[in-house]
Structure 1
């Protein structure tokens, strides 16, 4: 055991007995160390991946994505069947979207949720059945709505009164019938960062519960719109059932009221199921969440004497988050003396351009030496990027072996969600490729950028 010392480390970060250990909840199930101590993902050593594709490198474990997609669908199917209803699971494409992922999750029985015209086109380019798509967004343009109706998107989730009128004009002109849901705010604040909580009143999504009945009445007046039910999403990175239970109860009050004017066949309770980013995170198993949420809806319906509707859910991070690992090369290393100890700053060749979440949300991540096992004692490290910002932090607090040197490879797990989609070219740094690994084979599923690609967008360069 390590003796207690004054340290700038947060209370939740425990000094590990072995700074090479791999916390199973944080990594893909395929991650292991080779007999030489090198990290391997999907049966391929980190060094081999880097030699072929370079760094930074975003690696996505296909087997992990498929396993989590199938487990989520099975969990909600089983919970719904137990309570006499059905469940649909939509993969929330905003977490990470490309044509390959669309095909993987649809192969495993999931539908796909998109929230812009660009995401819609990615899903369609993947060959997705448009009827298995849901279309979100607080500011869908008329052109986006026209495209969604044209291709036959299964459900459009209406976010405002203005959107109802935009859709009314489109279906009237085209003579089509479009299935819609109405997004509402339950007023429940999820146990998460303020920017990730999406059901409280003072924010851009949806409509308050007390204003929803009038909007549903208007939807029902329009010949070409089929009202399918209510949608409510309370936030992201949520570990427990309590927030979903409270939100479902409030939405069911409205659901019951709306039954007086016609059928309300479906209730969508969103997603936001949390994952482990560090050893301190303890998310619920998806089976536990599914049983708890569906049971809460069933109990609420029984108490009101109404039939339980068909249910739908929209996990994204829970499907792809822990399937992703980003590999970096260590550059400069420096020790900084502090009043309560010291911290080692370890710079890598990426940063906030490929993972903006620490800068945006103060998100915590983990890291491990990937090119070998370290022989040194654990030392407190802050992994930082190469960008010209003091907030360019990749991993805020971590213990790594004290013999890490420039040229070593670091692996940062749980980067499958919201890293590539939020990536940028800040400081003219090209975005890295995304490489899928599975059973010892690898392939590029999103090409990386080059400096030439960035210069190619500059209209001031003569060609």
Structure 2
């Protein structure tokens, strides 16, 4: 393949990835890619929660993130209930922390609170959202590899349940703030276990050459435990934390990770005489963005993780610590699709006799940068009508001044797609609004929650006034 600024998939005769098959029916929806209430009306119009996307576009405009509230909340409750049940006999249950970095706003934080989950935040801004939503401090954990003194102080004053410490400087920093406040800070040690998730390099976060955690191989993790235990007046060591990456579809990576971090758990018990009460195995559970992906259900994930933890603890002769996990994408991702309007359509002849249809929409990398950042794959469908036209290989691109401004790299669309059509891209609930920007001074889209036939704004659309508000 020769290089091309719009992507490496510009080889001679390119006709899409091997897993992408021409559809028998270009209007058909693949259920695994969409929220539970998504369907099509008699005229082929996409509906969510009983509401037509044509009506949504008319009322709220495009682009817009459209969130199926029941789908989001049912996924959250399923994780909570499943892990509690599977781990009940082993360690009295398991705690589920929704990873707010996937997508967080005040209303979502309220859902998490009301449905009985914990909330994981990683900045002072995310903590502020949680506080505004009334999430109790006892239900909040805080990540981050470079937490400021102000963030630590706010977290401790609010009484959060745990701070995941990430460096020796941070041990000192948390201890100093706790001393000033006259409190004992509950902490977990983030351990880098040397396991690389089989995913994109930038989101594989447990191998050694990266910014997170204390190295297990280099002895840093043991030293971190030692330093925390030496400060009982200001620090309480709850346990260990490990996170091996994102878009993980089975428990094989967790098996190696759990074995190594539980080995440290055993070493701590033997060397320091302390059996740590908790173990956080992180998140990273994958979702289906295209037909290539086949994620496991929460029950299968929980059962696999429980078997691993029980086996390793029994072999080491230690009590099973209380387990916690941090799903984010697996809850938020499938619940949302992004709705765009087509502006221009341009057929392009490729080398080797192939062709592609470039479909430009009114959003792009400002509302979904993952395709450009991670070479992430997405699917899409024409959402405002049914088409009897033959499928054609298309690429959905944005309106930004970048050749790499691609939303959907490859998808078969009806060859009569044209200006004014609506395009829906599923699986955009995680890391799309969170990573969004105002590139090219483009206002960010709203988030529209739909439930039982009612649509409402939970994050409003930015305006030109918003764009100009910070200019001095």
If the length of structure 1 is used for normalisation, what is the TM-score?
0.97
Q: Measure, in 1, the Cα distance between the counterparts of 2:297 and 2:177.
A: 43
Deviations 1:231-269 (A, max 9, x none): 000000100110001100001110001113213000000
Aligned to 1:174: 181
Higher mean alpha-carbon deviation, 125-134 vs 214-223, is at 214-223
Within a 5 Å distance, the mapping from 1:13-412 to structure 2 comes to: 13-209=20-216, 210-222=219-231, 223-260=233-270, 261=272, 262-340=274-352, 341-412=354-425
Q: Measure, in 1, the Cα distance between the counterparts of 2:24 and 2:193.
A: 45
Deviations 1:25-63 (A, max 9, x none): 000010000112100011100000010000001111100
- Asked if the contact 1:83–1:295 (Cα under 8 Å) also holds between the matched residues in 2, the reply is no
Q: Secondary structure at the match of 1:83?
A: helix
1:77 CA drift (Å) = 1.1
1:86 CA drift (Å) = 2.0
Q: Secondary structure at the match of 2:227?
A: helix
1:401 CA drift (Å) = 0.8
Q: Which blocks of at least 5 consecutive residues in structure 2 are unaligned?
A: 1-12
Q: Measure, in 2, the Cα distance between the counterparts of 1:391 and 1:235.
A: 25
1:457 CA drift (Å) = 2.3
Aligned to 1:3: none
Q: Secondary structure at the match of 1:327?
A: strand
Q: Secondary structure at the match of 2:104?
A: coil
Aligned to 2:7: none
1:82 CA drift (Å) = 4.1
1:83 CA drift (Å) = 2.8
Q: Measure, in 1, the Cα distance between the counterparts of 2:190 and 2:153.
A: 20
Q: Secondary structure at the match of 1:94?
A: coil
1:211 CA drift (Å) = 1.4
- Asked if the contact 1:369–1:409 (Cα under 8 Å) also holds between the matched residues in 2, the reply is yes
Higher mean alpha-carbon deviation, 276-285 vs 343-352, is at 276-285
- Asked if the contact 2:379–2:411 (Cα under 8 Å) also holds between the matched residues in 1, the reply is yes
Q: Measure, in 2, the Cα distance between the counterparts of 1:429 and 1:173.
A: 44
Deviations 1:127-164 (A, max 9, x none): 00011000000000111111111111110000010011
Q: Measure, in 1, the Cα distance between the counterparts of 2:327 and 2:370.
A: 18
Q: Measure, in 1, the Cα distance between the counterparts of 2:255 and 2:311.
A: 10
Q: Measure, in 2, the Cα distance between the counterparts of 1:49 and 1:141.
A: 41
Deviations 1:159-178 (A, max 9, x none): 01001101111111221111
Q: Measure, in 2, the Cα distance between the counterparts of 1:275 and 1:128.
A: 27
Q: Secondary structure at the match of 1:95?
A: coil
- Asked if the contact 1:85–1:308 (Cα under 8 Å) also holds between the matched residues in 2, the reply is no
Q: 1:383 to 1:259 in 2, by over 3 A?
A: same
Q: Measure, in 2, the Cα distance between the counterparts of 1:106 and 1:246.
A: 33
- Matched residues, number: 454
Higher mean alpha-carbon deviation, 144-153 vs 449-458, is at 449-458
Higher mean alpha-carbon deviation, 235-244 vs 254-263, is at 254-263
Q: Which blocks of at least 5 consecutive residues in structure 1 are unaligned?
A: 1-5
- Asked if the contact 1:85–1:311 (Cα under 8 Å) also holds between the matched residues in 2, the reply is no
- Asked if the contact 1:80–1:86 (Cα under 8 Å) also holds between the matched residues in 2, the reply is yes
Deviations 1:391-440 (A, max 9, x none): 00000000011111100000000000000010001111100110100010
Higher mean alpha-carbon deviation, 96-105 vs 314-323, is at 96-105
1:7 CA drift (Å) = 4.9
Q: Measure, in 2, the Cα distance between the counterparts of 1:66 and 1:82.
A: 26
If the length of structure 2 is used for normalisation, what is the TM-score?
0.95
Q: Measure, in 2, the Cα distance between the counterparts of 1:455 and 1:219.
A: 47
Q: Measure, in 2, the Cα distance between the counterparts of 1:449 and 1:65.
A: 24
Q: Measure, in 1, the Cα distance between the counterparts of 2:336 and 2:356.
A: 27
- Asked if the contact 2:214–2:224 (Cα under 8 Å) also holds between the matched residues in 1, the reply is no
Aligned equivalent of 2:457, options 444, 452, 462: 444
Q: Measure, in 2, the Cα distance between the counterparts of 1:228 and 1:7.
A: 53
- Corresponding position: 1:455 with 2:468: yes
